[in-house]
Amino acid sequence: MPIPKHDEIRIPALEYLRDSKIVQAKEFREPLAQHFNLSEEELNTMYDSGNGQVFYDRISWCLSHLNLAGLVTKPNRGYYKISEKGLEYLSKPEKINELITSVIQARSSAKAETLVNVIPQQIIASKLTPPEELFYSFQAIRNNIYDEILERILSKTPREFEKMVVKLLQKMGYGGEIQNSGTVTSASRDGGIDGTIKEDVLGLGLIHIQAKRYAINASIGRPEIQKFVGALAGQQSKKGVFITTCSYSRDAIEFANSLTGTTLILIDGQKLAEFIYDFGLGMQTEQIIEIKRLDSEFWDGMQDDVITD
């Protein structure tokens, strides 16, 4: 039989979790292969690019979407457990794909960009050109990796997060070629400042950093931003960056934008993940796809063949 799609794996994966306790991602491979009667050849089929096994990759996407919809939880990184919601939906399995599709669409529409994570196949077939299909697929992969980035950050200590954001700003070009331009403040004496970036050799220009590692669904309000502005004033600083894994309330954003004499940049979890991805901090390039088009200048410079009756 053909290798099942990721949406076809969802119900068997939930049933396997129901009968188990906590399962590591790689432990789904053999029982699900048996469920779908996959041959050894099908089980080990690789993508044409050579970047991973098709079946295991589809299991990973399946688990990611089950987690996104709240049907499974992740007690530890790489481990999965069925949730109460997952148990409830196993009694009405025909609703599972409908739920996941609605969650993905809601999540997509909530993003600042108007892109979506997953485009239904019928829409792709009827409305999108191959380049458009490739573009949306690329965005879906990126958005999934953004979630993985934030999830990985939340598994680390707050101190490691502070170190990471200093490295990120340096990776983005702040501090230039200055040696040791980035510093993480001593935890016992940070005074509301988690790190600094030197803008010049003498350190006359400093960017002060506040880093808050909060749950993704949390929101930072105006009071915390005001505290950071007060800390900047104590350092006689005019430049600050507040970085978090969650979001900011409207009041917090409006307050930051209303400041005069002080430049304060707010980076939320979504933008943080995008920066980490785009600037390659802790990332590896898995695959590069090159698409070419005809060079009109080259071809138009050639004499056309005249067809005569």
Q: What is the pLDDT of residues 215-242, one digit of tens each?
A: 888 999 999 999 999 999 988 889 999 9
Hey, what are 13's tokens?
């994966």
Interatomic CA distance for residues 144 and 181, integer angstroms: 32
* Sequence spans of domains, the chain: 1-110, 158-278
Interatomic CA distance for residues 20 and 68, integer angstroms: 20
Average pLDDT over residues 243-254: 96
Q: Which residues does 249 contact at the CB level (< 8 Å), separation at least 6?
A: 219, 220, 221, 222
Residue 299's pLDDT is 83
Nearest to 267 by CA among 238, 230, 241, 231: 241
Helices and strands (H and E) in the chain: how many: 13, 10
Please check whether residue 264 is in contact with residue 229, taking contact to mean a CB–CB distance below 8 angstroms. Answer: yes
Instruction: Return the higher-pLDDT residue of 111 and 296.
Output: 296
Residue 125's pLDDT is 47
Please check whether residue 69 is in contact with residue 106, taking contact to mean a CB–CB distance below 8 angstroms. Answer: no
Residue 25's pLDDT is 86
pLDDT beyond 80 at 128: no
pLDDT beyond 80 at 133: no
Under CATH, which architecture does the 1-110 domain have? Orthogonal Bundle (1.10)
CA atoms within 13 A on the CB side of 302: 6
Q: Say what percent of the chain tops pLDDT 70.
A: 87
Angle at 290 between CA 112 and CA 282, to 5 degrees: 55
Residue 92's pLDDT is 92
Distances (CA, A) of 263 to 18, 236, 239, 240, 256: 52, 12, 5, 6, 8
pTM for the model: 0.65
Instruction: Return the higher-pLDDT residue of 111 and 71.
Output: 71
pLDDT beyond 60 at 120: no
Residue 308's pLDDT is 63
Please check whether residue 101 is in contact with residue 118, taking contact to mean a CB–CB distance below 8 angstroms. Answer: yes
Confidence of residue 152 (pLDDT cuts 50, 70, 90): confident
Fold observed for domain 158-278: Trna Endonuclease; Chain: A, domain 1 (3.40.1350)
Q: Say what percent of the chain tops pLDDT 90.
A: 45
Interatomic CA distance for residues 61 and 294, integer angstroms: 35
Average pLDDT across the chain, whole number: 85
pLDDT beyond 60 at 98: yes
